[in-house]
């Protein structure tokens, strides 16, 4: 593979292995995550109330994005990124097995184990495994580049994000279908198989990765380096504004799904010109989430080929203006669940296709915010703290999920707290205020790219 510009610099040989590993790993994560809301609220032996299930799911997702800092410290100080990724990938596989075990035992004629215990350990091990490798994966991709091929980094991070969403798209369509027709054993087991495949791909590329040795004791010297502390503080300030983006975005797997369950799921019902069989086609509420990765697969090539080249010629290569646009789009996207809740309170049954428009705006915001933030986190961080800063960035997702979890638990305990559409209006106001404040702060931030030697 070669770059599209005149320098014709080849991509680093490890890139295909990293992207393929991430694609398979994201299939496994999004596959099991997609069905959690339906599984927890519908299974007879669990049957949690909506707010309680949403709260627990956001706690789990918050844990997933807390452990990147743990994995990053192990990688940057002691073991290096590859070793941490490999061993925690094995832990990840065991977590998927724990979720599938109850159904497997029943199918084999064994007594069914404690379902809640298996659920707890499965999600705990997945949070440790998925979270622990996450900051390392993004950082090891950046490690493959030096000054001569730095210009390819934005392009490759877009391909990396395409890999994430290729896995997410297919698993989001497949696992709800598996859950409905074959039960939780297959619905959780197939993502486990893909995680085993991701681990194998990681191992096969072990001799291709550009080695960056762990810093050891030198890591702590960065905390005595004034320039490093300044860079860390500046980056962390920007990260604070990402918390509310994730608080809005992560609700697509919980409360957006519950709203979809109250909509008309015959997505082509109003298209009278189509054959009746197509008009009667129904989509499962949890499958609507597949719109997000499908849009990512569409939007990133558009951004890479047309929008960003024009953007860079007009406004330069800075990352913060892109994030600012994404935060304003996030506030606009939050208007949709707010309006859907008003319609539901009035007894109006909307077609589930209306959610697609909301997904389009939120996914566009994701490209501006999330993809750009990966590059920002790597390029703005001190050399020996690349994984740690990536871990700090991913903790913004933890903070966003924990914030939503806390709000949902309060709603569960007090039925009058943010009742009805007040809940969605609350997040709409917060998202808009967050975007405005970020726009002000970003005008005083000076970006400085820091790459490995």
Q: Tens digit of pLDDT for each residue in 104-129?
A: 777 777 777 777 788 889 999 999 99
Rounded to whole angstroms, how far apart are CA atoms 66 and 310? 36
**Boundaries of every domain in the chain:** 15-442
Element (H, E) at 161: helix 153-182
Measuring CA to CA, how many Å separate 338 from each of 22, 65, 329, 428?
34, 27, 15, 8
Rounded to whole angstroms, how far apart are CA atoms 165 and 23? 7
Q: Tens digit of pLDDT for each residue in 237-273?
A: 889 999 999 999 999 888 888 888 888 888 877 777 7
Rounded to whole angstroms, how far apart are CA atoms 290 and 287? 6
Name the maximum alpha-carbon separation found in the chain: 70
Query: Whole-number mean pLDDT of the chain?
Result: 84
Is-above-0.85 flag for pTM? no
> Is residue 18 within 8 Å of 158, Cβ to Cβ?
no
Q: Tens digit of pLDDT for each residue in 27-42?
A: 999 999 888 888 888 7
- For 377-406, give the DSSP string: HHHTS-GGGHHHHHHHHHHHHHHHHHHHHH
Q: What does CATH list as the number for 15-442?
A: 1.20.1250.20
Closest CA to 89 of 56, 36, 159, 136: 136
- Provide φ and ψ at 2, rounded to 5°: -125, 160
Q: Tens digit of pLDDT for each residue in 433-450?
A: 999 999 998 888 776 665
């Amino acid at each position: 593979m070669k770059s599209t510009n005149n320098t014709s610099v080849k991509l680093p040989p490890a890139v295909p292995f990293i992207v393929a590993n991430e694609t398979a790993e994201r299939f496994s994560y999004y596959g099991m995550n997609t069905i959690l809301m339906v599984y927890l609220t519908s299974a007879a032996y669990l049957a949690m109330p909506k707010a309680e299930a949403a709260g627990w799911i956001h706690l789990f997702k918050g844990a997933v994005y807390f452990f990147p800092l743990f994995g990053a410290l192990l990688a940057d100080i002691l073991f290096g990124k590859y070793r941490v990724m490999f061993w925690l990938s094995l832990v990840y596989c065991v977590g998927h097995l724990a979720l599938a075990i109850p159904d497997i035992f029943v199918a084999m004629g064994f007594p069914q184990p404690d379902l809640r215990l298996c659920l707890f350990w499965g999600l705990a091990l997945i949070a440790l495994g998925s979270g622990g490798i996450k900051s390392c994966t993004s950082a090891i991709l950046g490690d493959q580049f030096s000054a001569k091929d730095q210009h390819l980094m934005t392009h490759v991070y877009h391909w990396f994000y395409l890999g994430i969403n290729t896995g997410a798209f297919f698993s989001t369509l497949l696992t709800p279908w598996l859950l409905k027709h074959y039960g939780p054993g297959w619905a959780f087991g197939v993502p486990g198989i893909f995680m085993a495949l991701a681990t194998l791909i990681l191992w096969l590329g072990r001799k291709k990765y550009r080695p960056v040795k762990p810093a050891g004791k030198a890591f702590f010297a960065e905390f005595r380096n004034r320039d490093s502390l300044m860079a860390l503080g500046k980056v962390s300030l920007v990260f604070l504004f990402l918390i509310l983006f994730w608080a809005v975005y992560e609700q697509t797997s919980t409360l957006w799904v519950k709203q979809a369950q109250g909509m008309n799921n015959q997505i082509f019902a109003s298209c009278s010109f189509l054959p009746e069989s197509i008009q009667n086609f129904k989509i499962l509420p949890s499958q609507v989430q597949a719109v997000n990765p499908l849009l990512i697969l569409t939007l990133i090539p558009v951004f890479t080929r047309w929008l960003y080249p024009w953007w860079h010629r007009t406004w330069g290569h800075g990352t913060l203006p892109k994030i600012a646009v994404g935060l304003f789009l996030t506030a606009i996207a939050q208007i949709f669940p707010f309006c859907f809740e008003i319609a539901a309170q009035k007894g109006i049954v909307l077609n589930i296709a209306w959610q697609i428009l909301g997904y389009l705006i939120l996914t566009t915001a994701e490209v501006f915010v999330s993809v750009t933030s990966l590059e920002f986190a790597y390029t703005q961080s001190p050399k020996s703290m690349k994984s740690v800063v990536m871990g700090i960035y991913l903790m913004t997702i933890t903070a966003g999920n924990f914030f939503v979890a806390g709000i949902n638990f309060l709603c569960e305990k007090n039925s009058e707290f943010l009742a009805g559409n007040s809940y969605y209006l609350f997040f709409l106001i917060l998202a808009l205020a967050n975007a405005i404040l970020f726009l002000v702060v970003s005008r005083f931030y000076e970006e400085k790219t820091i790459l490995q030697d």
